[in-house]
Amino acid sequence: MANTYECVVMKEAYGGKGEVRLEMLLGETELKDKCGLFARVTIPAGSSLGYHEHHGNGESYYIISGEGIYDDNGVKRTVKAGETTWTGDGSGHGLDNTAGKEDLVFIALIVNK
């Protein structure tokens, strides 16, 4: 039987637009000190996750559905279903779905250093 963890709605996350929803897939008990986050994230059409940096950890996104503009340390590119991103310790990223017509859904994993 699957565990149910909290759902978090972030308004203007990291200076982005609109809201971002996080459905926690594992909790602190399972993640311990190895991972900071394992969640299904939804960025609705018209919203964005603002640019932010990682210190002491790295983060990967696996895009499940939708399409958006990924900012990888100032280099922007389109990401879509089936693609994976990585932002290492000391680097930054953001994800924009403001021009999208559908939700952008991905799995986010933060790995602690």
Instruction: Return the pLDDT at 1.
Output: 42
For residue range 25-44, what is the model confidence (pLDDT) as tens digits? 998 889 998 999 999 999 99
For residue range 72-112, what is the model confidence (pLDDT) as tens digits? 999 999 999 999 999 999 999 999 999 999 999 999 999 99
What does the DSSP 8-state code read for residue 17? S
Instruction: Return the pLDDT at 5.
Output: 75
- For 14, 19, 113, the CA distances from 88, given in Å and listed in that order, are 18, 24, 10
**Per the structure block, which two tokens stand in for 79?**
């990401």
Instruction: Return the pLDDT at 111.
Output: 96
The domains located in the chain, with CATH, are 7-43+51-112 (2.60.120.10)
* The Cα angle at residue 41 between residues 110 and 107, in degrees rounded to 5: 55
